[in-house]
Chain A
Amino acid sequence: MAAASVVDPEIRVITIDELGILRAVEEDGASGRVTVTITPTYTGCPAMDVIRADVRRALAAAGYPDAEVRTVYSPPWSTDWISDGGRAKLAAAGIAPPAPAPTPGVVALTLAVRCPLCGSPDTEQVSRFGSTACKALWRCRSCSEPFDHLKAL
C-alpha cells in the first residue's frame, strides 16, 4: 500500500508503518475515498506536517487524489510498536533500537545499550535528548563512536 511505504522524514531508513505511527488505512467502498490515520511519536513532533503531506502525495501518485489524513492521540504511541524489521533497519543505520517501553509513571533507565556500530555493551549516555525528540545521544567506550539511541517510550 502506498501509505505504508512513506518514509519518516527525520529517520529516512524506516517507513511510517515500521515505526508504528501509521495506525489505519481505510477505503470507503462506495466513494473510493481513502482515510489514513496516523499518530505522533511525541506531542510536539515537528515532522507531522511533512508526514501528512508525504502521505497525501504518495496516495495521489497511487490514484487516490483526495485522501484524508487523520491524526489521533489515543492510544499513545509506544516504541513497542516499532516492527522487528524496523528495529533491524534502525540498527543498520547506526541508531540503537529501543528497549521495551517503561511502565507508565515509572522512569526506567536503560542501563545497557549495545553499540550499533561495533556491538559492544560498554556504552554511556551523553545526553538523554538528541537530534530529534525521540532520540538520545550515546557514546561507545569500545570504539569511541557516538551514536543515536531511540528512547523507549
Chain B
Amino acid sequence: MNGPFDFALALGDDALIAAQRLAEWTTRAPEMEEDIALANIALDQLGAARLLLSYAGELEAAGRDEDALAYLRDDREFRNVLLVELPNGDFAVTMAKLFFLAAYQLPLYTALASCPDERLAAIGAKARKESAYHLDHGALWVKRLGDGTEESHRRMQEAVDHVWPYTHELFAADPAAPVDPAGLRPAFDETVGPVLAEATLTRPERGWAPTSGRAGVHTEHLSYLLAEMQVLHRAHPGAKW
C-alpha cells in the first residue's frame, strides 16, 4: 500500500469481504439470537465498507463508485487480508476470525479517528464504536467455547490454531499509510492474550505467516465468494430495485 486510495481500498475490502462471509450464516447460525447477532455485525461491516469504498472511489477520481469497486473488480484487484476470505468453517472458526479481526479493527479505527484525513477520521470515529461490540461478542464466545466442554475446548483451540497464522498479515508495516498497521500489534496482543488465557486456550507460537492479500494474491476461496457476491450485478448491468 502507499497512498490514501490504497489504504481506504484495503480497509474497505476487509470490511466488505468480512460482511459477505458473516452473511453466509444467516438462517444457519446455531441459535436464533446468534443468527441476528452475526447479521447485525455483517451489516456494520457492510456500512463501513460502503463509506470506505465510496471514499476510495472519490480519491481515485476515475469515476468508480462503491458499486463499481465492489462488483466490477476481479480477485487479483481486491486488497483485503486473507483472514477475512477464509471459509467460515465451524462456529468456532467463525468466532476466532471475528475475535481476531475485531481486536485489530478496534485499535485501527480508534487511531484513524485522530488521523489528519478528515474523512477517514470520521469513518474511524463511527466504526470504532461498532467494533467495540464485535470484539465483546467474539471474546464472549471464545471464552464460552474455550472454557466449556471438552469438545468445545478442542474445537475452539483448533480454530485458534487454524486462524492464527493469518493474523500476522494484519500488522504488516506500512509507514506511509495514514495509520501504520505495525503500530497496532501491542494493542492486539494486550486484548487477545488475556481472553485466550481466560478461555484456557493456548496462544499459538509465531509460525508461518501468509501475507499476500494486500498485494492482491488471494486464496482460491475469494474467487468463489466474489462469484456469488457479484453475479447478479454483472448479469444485469445497471439494474435497479
Contact = CB atoms under 8 A, between A and B. Distances in A.
Contacts of B59: none
B141 to A, nearest CB: 11
Interface in A64-90: 72-77
A110 B146 CA distance: 24
B163 to A, nearest CB: 22
Interface of chain B, main secondary structure? helix
B199 interface: no
Given A105-B106, A126-B33, A76 B45 contact: no
A74 B44 contact: no
B51 interface: yes
B152 interface: no
A127 B40 CA distance: 11
Given A74-B122, A126-B33, A128-B133, A105 B43 contact: no
Interface string A87-100: 00000000000000
Classify chain B's interface size. Answer: 20 to 34
Contacts of B130: 42-43, 153
B33 A43 contact: no
Interface string B111-132: 0010000100111011111101
A74 B43 contact: no
Contacts of A13: none
A115 interface: no
Interface of chain A, main secondary structure? loop
Given A76-B126, A104-B110, A130-B36, A42 B43 contact: yes
B47 A44 contact: yes
Interface in B42-58: 43-48, 50-51
Interface string A13-46: 0000000000000000000000000001011111
A73 B51 contact: yes
Given A74-B118, A107-B135, A127-B33, A43 B125 contact: no
Contacts of A106: 132
Contacts of A76: 122, 125-126, 129
Contacts of B24: none
B147 interface: no
B38 to A, nearest CB: 8
Interface in A99-153: 102, 104-107, 109, 126-131, 133, 137, 151, 153
A153 B136 CA distance: 13
B44 A42 contact: yes
A6 to B, nearest CB: 21
B206 to A, nearest CB: 26
A153 B129 contact: yes
Interface string B130-144: 101101110000000
The 4 closest A-B pairs by CB, nearest first: A44-B47, A43-B47, A127-B33, A74-B122
Interface of B: 33-34, 36-37, 39-41, 43-48, 50-51, 106-107, 110, 113, 118, 121-123, 125-130, 132-133, 135-137
17 contacts: A40-B47, A42-B43, A44-B43, A44-B47, A73-B122, A73-B126, A76-B122, A76-B125, A105-B107, A107-B132, A107-B136, A126-B33, A127-B34, A129-B33, A129-B41, A131-B36, A133-B44
Given A43-B51, A44-B43, A128-B137, 8 more contacts: A43-B123, A44-B47, A44-B50, A73-B123, A102-B132, A104-B125, A105-B107, A107-B136
Interface of A: 40, 42-46, 72-77, 102, 104-107, 109, 126-131, 133, 137, 151, 153
